[in-house]
Amino acid sequence: MASFVASALTLAGLACLSTPAAAQDKGGDKVNQVIVYGDDPCPESSDGTITVCARLDESERYRIPEGLRHSDDPANQSWTDRVRSYETVGDFGALSCTPVGAGGDLGCTQKLIDAAYAEKRTGSSVRFKQLIEEERAKRLSKIDEEAAETQSRVEEIEKEYLERQRRAQEEQTPDEKDASEAPLPKPDDNQ
DSSP annotation of 183 reads: P
* Residue 37 confidence (pLDDT): 93
* Residue 80 confidence (pLDDT): 84
Q: Are 51 and 32 in contact (CB under 8 A)?
A: yes
* Residue 22 confidence (pLDDT): 46
What is the SS3 assignment for 30? strand
Q: Are 132 and 143 in contact (CB under 8 A)?
A: no
DSSP annotation of 181 reads: H
DSSP annotation of 73 reads: -
CA atoms within 13 A on the CB side of 105: 1
* Residue 100 confidence (pLDDT): 73
Beta bridge partners of 54: 35
How many residues belong to the chain? 191
Phi, psi (rounded to 5 degrees) for 169: -70, -35
* Residue 143 confidence (pLDDT): 83
111-117 own/partner pairs: CB under 8 Å, 24+ apart = none
- Regions of the chain with pLDDT less than 70: 1-27, 88, 122-126, 174-185, 189-191
* Residue 154 confidence (pLDDT): 94
* Residue 139 confidence (pLDDT): 83
Give the pLDDT confidence of 153-162 residue by residue, as tens digits.
999 999 999 9
Q: Are 19 and 37 in contact (CB under 8 A)?
A: no
* Residue 84 confidence (pLDDT): 76
